[in-house]
Each structure stands twice: as structure tokens, then as C-alpha cells.
Structure 1
Amino acid sequence: MILISTILINLIGLEHVFIMCLEIWGKPETQAKVFGMPLSFVKQAPAKAALGNMGIYNGMLGFLILASQRVLTTEPRLIINSLLMIFVVIVALFGAFTVKKEIFWLQGMPALLTFFVLLILIF
């Protein structure tokens, strides 16, 4: 079960780093398609700045998730990653309600599954 949780946690961390790359360095056409925004909007300087800001948050979250796997010992790692998975689920729910429903399925569900695996390990 620890191996499964480690794999899931690393995948979620990598997913957020990938999202950062899309938000910061993605082509406007890709950003418009992936994030469900009009291309004319994504090409505007304020939208690029907002996407960059969101990207840095996603990237730092991803790096924190990945770093926790290498820096923390077993019990603190389980607790911290449980909290981070709750954070991801809440943010994904907000994104699903405000942007696209797919956000919950792509980000929230894997984090929720991982959270339940971590709960089994904690208790």
C-alpha cells in the first residue's frame, strides 16, 4: 500500500508541474483548448499574467508534493501528503464549479483516491 501511495503522490506532483508548464509556457492555442478559454482572451497580456500566476502556484504545489516524498519520514510524510491531497481536492472542486467540470475529474479525483489510500495507511 505504501508503494501505491508513493506512486500516486508522485503522479499528482508531476501532474501539477505539467499544469505549470502549460500555464506558463504553453502556446495560446493549447491554453485556450485545455483551459476552456477563448483564444482572443488567452492572447491578452493580463490573461498571460494571470495564467503565469496560476502556473507558479501549481508548480510550487507540485514541487512541494514531490519534495515531501524525499525530505520527510514516513508518518509526517503521510500527514503532510494527506493535507496536500485535501488542498488539491478543494481547489479542483472550485475549478470545477468556476471553470470546467473536467478539472475535478483530472485533478480532484486522483487526489481524492490518494487521500483515501493515505487514510488507510494512517489508520
Structure 2
Amino acid sequence: MNITILTVCAIIGGLHLFIMILEMFAPPEKQGMIFKMPLDFVTQPNAQTALKNQGIYNGALGLAILVSLFIFSGTTRLMVLLLFMGFVFIVGIFGGKTVTKSIYFIQALPALCAGGLIIFALLI
């Protein structure tokens, strides 16, 4: 069970690092296509600043998830991961409602599944 939890959480952490790269370093054409935003919007300097700022947050969250896999152990690790999965779930719900519905499946659903696995592991 723990291997499954750690693997799913590592994938979610890696996904957030990948999202950071897209938000901070991808060309506007790719950002517009991936995030379903008009090109004339994502090429604006203020939109680029906002995307890069959001990228920093996604990167910090992804890095925190990955680091927590190594610096904590046992119940503490599971509780920290549960907290981070809660963050990802909330952000995924908001993103799915405000940006594109695919975020429900890319962020919120995996975090919900990981959180469920963690809760199950804590209860057994």
C-alpha cells in the first residue's frame, strides 16, 4: 500500500513541476493551446507575469510533495502528503471550475484518489 501511495504522490509532485515548466518557460502558443487560452491573451506581458507567478506556486507545491517523500517517514509522511493532496484537490477543483474542466481529471481526481489511499492506510 505504501509503495502505491508514494508512487502516486511522486507522480502528482512531478506533474506539478511539469506544469511549472509549461507556465514559466513554454512559448505563448503552447501555453494558449495547453491551457485553452486565446493567443492574444497569453502574449500580453501581464498574462505572462501571471502565468510565471502561478508557475512558481506549482513548482513549490511539486517540490514540497517530492521532498516530503524523503524527509519524513511513517505516519508523519502520510499526514504531510495528505495535507498536500488536500491542497492539490482544492486547487484542482477551482481550476476545473474557472479554467478548463480537464483540470478536474488532471489534478483534482488524482489528488482525491491519493488522499483516499492515504486515509485508508492511516486507518488500517
**Shorter chain as normaliser: what TM range?**
over 0.9
Q: CA deviation at 1:27?
A: 1.1
Moved over 6 A (4+): none
- Give the alignment's Cα RMSD to 1 decimal: 0.6
| Count of residue correspondences | 123
Is the counterpart of residue 100 in structure 1 residue 122 in structure 2?
no
* 2:46 maps to 1:59: no
Q: Percent identity?
A: 41
**2:35 matched residue in structure 1:** 35
- Equivalent position of 1:76 in the other structure: 76
Q: Distance in 1 between matches of 2:110 and 2:41?
A: 30
Q: Which residue of 1 aligns with 2:10?
A: 10
SS in 2 for 1:100: coil
TM-score normalised per structure 1: 0.98
Indicate the residue corresponding to 2:111 in structure 1.
111
CA distance in 2: counterparts of 1:65 and 1:74, whole angstroms:
15
Structure 2: unaligned runs, 5 residues or longer: none
Distance 2:50 2:102 in 1: 20
Aligned match of 1:21: 21
User: Structure 1, residues 21-64: CA drift from partner, whole Å, max 9, x if none?
Assistant: 00000111110011111001111110000000000000000000
Cα distance between partner residues in 2 of 1:106 and 1:77: 23
Provide the rounded CA distance (Å) in 2 between the counterparts of 1:17 and 1:104.
18
Q: Distance in 2 between matches of 1:74 and 1:42?
A: 43
CA deviation vs aligned residue, 1:82-104 (integer Å, no higher than 9, x gap): 11111111111001111111111
For 1:36 and 1:61, how far apart are their aligned partners in 2?
23
- For the residues of structure 2 that align with 1:8 and 1:63, how far apart are their CA atoms? 15
